[in-house]
Structure 1
Amino acid sequence: MHKILLYINTINGGGAERVMVNLARALVEAGVDTTLVTSFRGDREYPLDPRVRRLLLEEEQLHQSRLQRNVGRITKLRRLCRQEKPDLLLAFMAEPNFRAVMATRGLPVKTVVSVRNDPEREYAGKAGRLVGKYLLPLADGCVFQTRDAKAWFPEKLQKKSAIIYNAVKPEFYEVQRAPVPGEIVTCGRLEEQKNHALLIEAFARVQVRHPDAVLKIYGEGSLRPMLERQIAALGLQGKAQLMGATRDVAAALRTASLFVLSSDYEGMPNALMEAMAAGVPCVSTDCPCGGPRELFGAELADRLAPCKDAAALADAMERALTGPEDGAAFRRRAAEFAPDKVYGTWMRYLERVMDGKSSNS
Structure 2
Amino acid sequence: MWTKEFQCGGHESALLDCRSSGSTRNTCSPGKAVGLTCSEPVRLVGGDSRCAGTLELKHQGEWRTVSYSDWSLKTAAVVCRELDCGSAVSVRERRESSDRSVLRIRSNCVQSGSAVRDCVTFDYSSKVLDLTCSDSVRLVNGTSLCSGRLEVKSDQSNQSWSSVCEADFDQQDAEVVCRELGCGAPSVLQGALYGEAEAPMWTKEFQCGGHESALLDCRSSGSTRNTCSPGKAVGLTCSEPVRLVGGDSRCAGTLELKHQGQWKPVSYSDWSLKTAAVVCRELDCGSAVSVREREESSDRSVWWIRSNCVQSGSALRDCGMSADFPFILNLTCLGKTSSS
Taking structure 1 as the reference length, the TM-score comes to 0.24
Q: Taking CA–CA contacts closer than 8 Å with sequence separation of 6 or more, which of the two structures ends up with the larger relative contact order? A: 1
Richer in helix (by share):
1
Structure number with bigger Rg: 2
Richer in strand (by share):
2
Taking structure 2 as the reference length, the TM-score comes to 0.25
